[in-house]
A and B are shown apart, each in its own frame.
Chain A
Amino acid sequence: MFRLQLRSQNLIFREVEDRDLVIKAAKGNVDAFNLLVSRHEKRVFNYLLRLVGNREDALDLTQDVFLKAYQNLTKLSDVGRFSPWLFRIAHNEAYSLLRRHRPDTAELIYDPPTASAKEGMFPIEMNIAVERALGHLTADQREAVVLKIYQGFKFEEMAEILNLPLSTIKSRLYSALDVLKGALAPVKG
C-alpha cells in the first residue's frame, strides 16, 4: 500500500511539472515535448504491453500514441490532465488494434510476455503466477488492474481514461481483485 501511495505522490509532482511542459509544447517547443515523451514512454509502453501482450505491437502503438498526442496537443483543454489524456489515447489505440486484428470480437486475447524480463526482487515463480493470474481476467478487468496497480491512477482518472462511470470502474477493478485473490492464493505461502 505504501508503494502504491508513493507512486501516486510521484504522479502528483510529475503532473505539476508536466503542466509547464505541455504549455510549452503546445506553443511549439519541441524540446518540451521530447521531455514529455521521455517521461511517459515507459509507462505507456508497459500499459500497452500488458493490454496487448506483444512487445512489437506495444512498441508500435506507443509510437502512434505519442504521434497523436503531439498532433492533438492544442486540443488538450486542461493541461494539468496530460497523463490521463495520454492514456486515453493509448486506450483508444489499443482497442483500434484489437478491432483491426479481430473485428468479430471485442476481447483482447492476453498472451503473457515470455519470461525474459523476470529479474525482479520477487522469485520468478511469483512473476509467472502473477502473469498467469492476469491472464484469467477479462480485457476490461485487466485494463482496470493495469491502470490502478501499475500506473497508479485514481478512480476518477480511470473513469476519464476509459470514459466510464466511477461505479463501473470500481466494479471491474473489485471483481478483478477477487479473481486475482483466488488465483494467487496457492502461491501466497
Chain B
Amino acid sequence: MDHSQIDLNAYALGEGTPAERAAAAAHLAKSPEAALDFERLQMTLTALQGLRDEEVPRRIAFVSDPVFEPSLWQRFWSSGPRVAFGAAAMLACAITAHGFLVRPVAQPVLTTTAQISQADVDAVVQKAVQAIEVRTENRVRQEVSLAVNKTEKRFTQEIQMMAASFQENDTLLRKQMNRMYVTNAGLSVGFPKE
C-alpha cells in the first residue's frame, strides 16, 4: 500500500478495515516521523477524552408525563389493527348505506290467488288453537304434577324430621325427669351422666 494512502487518523480513531489497520501499524513501525506525529495525535485524543460528560441538570419529561400524551388520532393511526378495524367499519357502513340508497323500488306484483272462504280459515285457526290448547294443557298438567310431587316429598321429609326431633326431645325430657326423681329420692345409682 502506498504511504500516501495510509490513514493514520482513521487508525487512531479505531476506524478502517483490518488490512488498513495492519498497513498503518506497519507504516508506524517503519517511519519515526509518522510515529511521532501519531503520538501527538494520540495525546490530543487522550486530552479530548479527558473532558467529561455533564449530568443532565433535571430529568427529561417522560412519555408518561401529560406533555407526551399522544392524541386520540395519533394513537389510532399508530395501531395497525385499529386502522384495519376502522377501515372494515367504514366499508361495512358504505355497503349498508349503498344497500339503503340504491334499493330497488318494490313493484306491485299482480298475482292470482285461490279463493279461500272464511269458513276454511276459521276451521284452520280453530284447529291450530285446539292443538295449542292441548299442548299447553298437557304441559301445565305435567308441571303441576311435578311440583305437587316435589312439595309432597319435601313435606314428608319435614314431618319425619319433626317427628324425630319430638322423639329426641321426649327422650331427653324423660331422662331429665327420671334424674330429678332419683335426686329427690336420694339415690345415687341408676342413670348414666349426660
A residues near B, CB below 8 A? Answer: 1, 3-5, 8, 26-28, 30, 33-34, 37, 41-43, 45-46, 49, 55, 59, 62-63, 66-67, 70-71, 74, 113, 117, 119-122, 126-127, 129-131, 145, 148-150, 154-155, 170, 173-174, 177, 180-181, 184-185, 187-188
Contacts and interface: CB of A to CB of B under 8 A. Distances in A.
Contact of B45 (A4, A62, A66): A4
Contact of A121 (B50, B56, B58, B64): B50
B44 A181 contact: yes
A81 to B, nearest CB: 18
Contacts of B47: 122, 126, 129-130, 184, 187-188
A34 B65 CA distance: 10
Contacts of A33: 62-63
Contacts of B13: 1, 4, 148, 173
A185 B60 contact: no
A74 B45 CA distance: 38
Nearest to B61: A63
Contacts of B63: 30, 33-34, 37, 70
**Nearest 6 CB-CB pairings of A with B:** A122-B50, A46-B53, A30-B63, A120-B52, A34-B62, A41-B60
Given A34-B64, A174-B9, A181-B41, A145 B15 contact: no
A127 to B, nearest CB: 6
Given A5-B14, A154-B15, A30 B64 contact: yes
Contact of A150 (B9, B53, B58, B67): B53
Bin chain B's interface residue count. Answer: 35 or more
Nearest to A187: B47
A87 B74 CA distance: 24
A149 B49 CA distance: 7
16 contacts: A4-B13, A4-B14, A30-B62, A34-B63, A34-B64, A41-B59, A45-B54, A46-B53, A49-B54, A67-B68, A70-B68, A117-B52, A121-B50, A126-B50, A155-B10, A174-B9
Given A45-B54, A70-B68, A177-B41, A37 B60 contact: yes
B44 A59 contact: no
A5 B58 CA distance: 30
B40 interface: yes
A46 B79 CA distance: 34
A188 B79 contact: no
